[in-house]
Amino acid sequence: MSYPIIEIICGKCGSSVNKMINIKPIKEIVRQSNGKCRNCGTLLNPNEFSVNFGEKSFSS
Ligand SMILES: [Zn+2]
C-alpha cells in the first residue's frame, strides 16, 4: 500500500527539512518545523522552499 508523501526542501541549503505523508496543508507542515530549516536555520517562506511530491511504499 502506498501513500502520497510531501517533502520540504530548504531553498538555501537544499537539505530536506521535513517529509511526511501528505495529509496536512503545506503551511501546517512548515509550522511543525517551526518555520525554519533545521540545517541552516533559514526561515522558510512558503513561496520559496521547494516541495517534492512522491510516493512512499510501506511494504511491511
Ligand atoms: Zn537550509
pLDDT digits (tens, 9 = 90+) for 18-52: 787 766 777 777 777 777 888 898 887 666 566 66
How big is the chain by its Cα radius of gyration, in Å?
Answer: 12
Q: What is the distance in A from the centroid of ligand 1 to the CA of 6? A: 17
**What is the spatial distance between Cα 13 and Cα 40, in angstroms, rounded to a whole number?**
7
List the grid coordinates of 11. Answer: 531553498
Distance (angstroms) between ligand 1 centre and the Cα of 60 equals: 32
Residue 33 CA, ligand 1 centroid: distance in Å: 12
Report CA(44)–ligand 1 centroid distance (Å).
8
Name every residue whose Cβ is closer than 8 Å to that of residue 26 and which is 6 or more positions away in sequence.
6, 8, 46, 51
pLDDT given at position 18: 79
CB 38 within 8 A of CB 13: no
